[in-house]
Structure formats: structure tokens, C-alpha cells
Amino acid sequence: MNLRKVTAASAAVLALSLTATACGSEDKDSDAGSSAGDKKITVGIKYDQPGLGLKTPDGSFTGFDVDVATYVAKELGYAEGDIVFKETKSADRETALERGDVDFIAATYSITDERKEKVDFAGPYLLAHQDLLIRADDTVAKGEDLNGKKLCSVTGSTSAQNVKTKFAPDAQLRQVGTYSECLTGLQSGAVDALTTDDSILAGYASQDQYKGKFKLAGLELSNENYGIGVKKGNTEMLNKINAALEKMVSDKAWDEAVKANFGPANYENEAAPQIGNIVK
């Protein structure tokens, strides 16, 4: 927060009073989640995931994660205009929270034991499954079919390593910065498959420029429990976000967000998960 400077003409008593008040306000503003007129909350999202987190050409943001983050921020006391969305790529999520670059992250952030060592997770708020996006005229019946194939995913994602470890150790892995780069490679033939969560893949497959070109393989290679990441040890923030997620489900706003963002792709989502229930 930028504090107003007191003019030289102000009386000494008034100056001291304003300074004390300003210091008190600054201390309060350091705690994310409290409400104040011109305070902002910074939320990490993805910018290139249609249906989940997408920055549109006009500068607005759409997607299920965006809707969830907006609902949560409002429950924390922030108006929609006080939410600052910040691009947070998969490889940067833990660091962004540790440095305080963002207050929380809603960015297709799968809850894993390894990640829980560095950050705390509210939720889960969505259960997705790892799948493959392939060209419309290709067929992949099982994970093992990827041996010898060129597989693309993003740096920092657990999806590609999951395929290499459990199904296709001889897959040729290509890791890039964004899923959009994988889509370009899949379209050109530079890679044979893109792997990540089915929710993300469904968003891409439903885009106008890709309709009829790609399809989901229809494999459930893993369970992905999406959580909201917060800085390690921030229990107050964690509890507030969990309460907001529970309210979002109970008042049907969760169902409305699912329909609005995944409905066009005919994505068959799982029911809203219970807070703290991690499906292995």
C-alpha cells in the first residue's frame, strides 16, 4: 500500500497521529485475506489453458480455475476489481509462493506428497485424470503404446514423468515452457502426443482452431487432485480458502462454473471432491 505523505504545513500532532494510523494499516495489510478499500490480492493462474486459465486478447481472464479463484478471493473480502491475476507456470509455482509473489495459486495444481513438503494445499476442488491428446487419425490404446513415441509436456508437470516411470520408459520426452508449444508440435508432427490432465486437454480440443484435428485418447493414467496452493505454514489462509471452497460447492456455484467452462467440450467431470479427500 502507498501511504500518503503529510505536508509540511500539517500540525505536528496531526502528523504523529496520521503516521501512527498509517503504520497500523500497513501491518494489517501484510496479512493476505483481510479486506480493505484499495487492497489487492495476487492470485497465480495459468494464462494458456482454455477452459481453466486463459488470458484473452482483450486482457480478461476466463476458465474454471479463474472462476474458483475469483469466488475464493471474494470470500476472503476482496472485490473482483481488487484481484490481480499473475501468470504462474508449472515450474515456478513453489518459488512464487515462497517468495510471496502471489497470495495463493489456482493453476491446475495437483496435490502431491513432494509438493506438500514445500507448500500447503487447500482443497481439492477438482478431480481430474491424466490422459493424452493425439491427432484425430491416431490411436493410442494404452500407455505402453508410447514407447518410442515423441511425448510432450511442460517443465515442472508431473504428467510426463508419470508416463515414463509407469508406462513407457522408452518414450522420447520433450519438455517445454507452455502447453501451447506442445500443441504446435502436435499439429506439425514434431511430437506424437501431449500428456497432461484430461480437463486441460479437453479445453484445447474444444478450441475452434483445433476442432476435428485432435482428440483425447480416453485413458485414465492417474488421478489428479487439484488444490489451491498457499505459502507453507499459512494456516489461517488455508482454513479460509477451504471454507470458501465448501461454500462454493454448497451454493451450487461450483456446478455452474463446471458447466460454463467444460460443457462445450463434453468433458465428463467427477463430482466435487470433499475437502481433504485425496484420491490416490
- What is the reported pLDDT for 178? 87
In a domain, 175, yes or no: yes
- 27-52 tens-digit pLDDT: 333 344 444 456 999 999 999 899 99
Rounded CA separation 217/113 (Å):
27
Q: Which residues of the chain have pLDDT under 50?
A: 1-36
Residues 156 and 104 in one domain: no
Domain count across the chain: 2
- What is the reported pLDDT for 38? 66
CATH number at residue 201: 3.40.190.10
Print the domain residue range for 136. Answer: 129-216
Residues 88 and 135 in one domain: no
Residues 242 and 206 in one domain: no
In a domain, 13, yes or no: no
In a domain, 273, yes or no: no
Supply φ then ψ for residue 230, to 5 degrees. -130, 165
In a domain, 61, yes or no: yes
Other CB atoms within 10 A of residue 110 CB: 22
Amino acid identity, residue 179?
A: Y
